[in-house]
Each structure stands twice: as structure tokens, then as C-alpha cells.
Amino acid sequence: MEATVGEQERILASPWGGGTNPFGTSWGKFMMWVFIVSDALTFAGFIVAYGFMRATAPAWPAQDEVFSMGLITFMTFALISSSCVMAIAVGAAPQGRRSEAVKYLWLTILGGTIFLGSQAYEWAHFIDEGYRPWFNPVMPEVPQFPAAFYVMTGFHGFHVFTGLVLLLYTVIRAHMGKYTGDRVEIAGLYWHFIDVVWVFIFAFFYLL
């Protein structure tokens, strides 16, 4: 019995004994990480499905003939820059530098809005040219191409939109003085995740 009691004490004293944070984070931040991991699996499924479709397709269009790579590079620049200023906002918030955090949060929102606006422009152009999720006007034998484009960039764009809503909520709360460094960091984690997903889409869909 004594050994059992000792074992119980050992467990209770461990990080998993209850009453502590085994991952060393707040619950909100940890839940955001759990969400990011599960959401990354969704995008991993898309990317693998895209690879499969592309490997089995009879041909594949040259991306630089379909898309404006200057625009895509500019969009990437906007998103990477917004990630950088978001990181600065996350650094300023817990130190009580509210006006600085707010300023960089607005810059992040600006970067995200530029990205989303550019994507809307790209979609409008693509739709104008007759591309549909089930039809490729240039290479009718490869409808997988526009399908992959709409699904991957569409889901990513929706995430950017959701991220902008989250950032607006965060910055409005910050203006009202009702914010904590932890909340800004949680919004930041989501925003950086959007950047990570775009890094994959940029390389695998637009460049490979």
C-alpha cells in the first residue's frame, strides 16, 4: 500500500497531476494550437489530393501562362509582411504598450486586406476567363486544375477572411482597453498559421 501511495504522490507532483499547465500555456493558447493542428490536417488533405489529381492528370497547364506571377508574389509579400507586424504586435501587447500593439494590429489588418483584395481580383479574372470548378476552357481534359485552384485558394481565402474578423475583434477590444497579451498572441498564432498554409500553396500550386 505504501508503494501505491508513493506512486500517487509522484503522479500528483508531476506536470500531469492536475492543477497545473502541462504544456506551459494558457488554456486558450493551447486550444488554438489544437485547432491549428486539426486545421493543418484539413489543408494537408487538400494538398495530398491535389498531388494525386495532378499525378493522374493527362497534362497540367503552365501556371505562369494562367496566372500573373507578379500578383501572386505581391500577395505573398503582403501576407509575409503582415505576419511580421503581427509578431511585433504580439511582442508589444504583454508589455503594456497598447498604442504600439494597436498600431501594428491595424497594419496586420491592412496586409490581410490587401491580400484578400488581390485574391478577389485574381478570382474575378479567372472566372471571367471561363474557368469553373468543373470546367477548364483552355485544357478541357484537365478540369482538375480549376477545381484544385478554387478549393485550395478558396479555403485559404476564407481563413484569411476569418482571421481579419478575429483581428478586428481583437483591435477593437484593444482600443477599449479590454485586451490581454494572451488574447493578442492567440490571434497572432492563427494569423501566422494562415501564412504557413499560403507558403505551401505558393510552392506546390503556383511554382511546382
Partner 1 sequence: MESMSETTHHGYATYWRIWGWLLGMTLLALGVGYVDAMPGGLKALLLVGITLAKVAIIGAYYMHLRSEKLDLILITFTPIVLAMILFFFMVPDAGDTATRIMTLR
Residues within the interface to partner 1 (CB under 8 A): 22-25, 30, 33-34, 36-37, 40-41, 44-45, 47-48, 51-52, 54-56, 60, 62, 64, 69, 73, 76-77, 80-81, 83-84, 86-88, 90-92, 94-95, 185, 188-189, 192-193, 195-196, 199-200, 202-204, 206-208
Rounded distance between C-alpha atoms, residue 53 and residue 140, angstroms: 15
The answer to whether 110 and 82 have CB atoms below 8 angstroms apart is yes
The closest alpha carbon to 17, from 5, 8, 4, belongs to 8
Q: Closest CB to partner 1 among 2 and 65?
A: 65
Nearest residue (CB) to partner 1, 172 versus 203: 203
Query: 33 or 123, CB closer to partner 1?
Result: 33
Q: Can you tell me the distance from the alpha carbon of 5 to that of 183, in angstroms, rounded to the nearest whole number?
A: 40
| Residue among 6 and 77 whose Cβ is closer to partner 1 | 77
Contact 191, 90 (CB under 8 A): no
Q: How far is the CB of 194 from partner 1 (least distance, A)?
A: 11
Nearer to partner 1, 70 or 177 (CB): 70
Q: How far apart are CA 134 and CA 180, in angstroms?
A: 46
User: Is 183 within 8 Å of 39 (Cβ atoms)?
Assistant: no
> Which of residues 172 and 199 has its CB atom nearest to partner 1 in the complex?
199
Q: Whole-number minimum distance, CB 191 to partner 1, in Å?
A: 9
- Report, in Å, the least distance between residue 47 CB and partner 1: 7
Contact 136, 146 (CB under 8 A): yes
Query: Rounded to 5 degrees, what angle do the CA atoms 179, 180, 183 make?
Result: 90
Contact 140, 58 (CB under 8 A): no
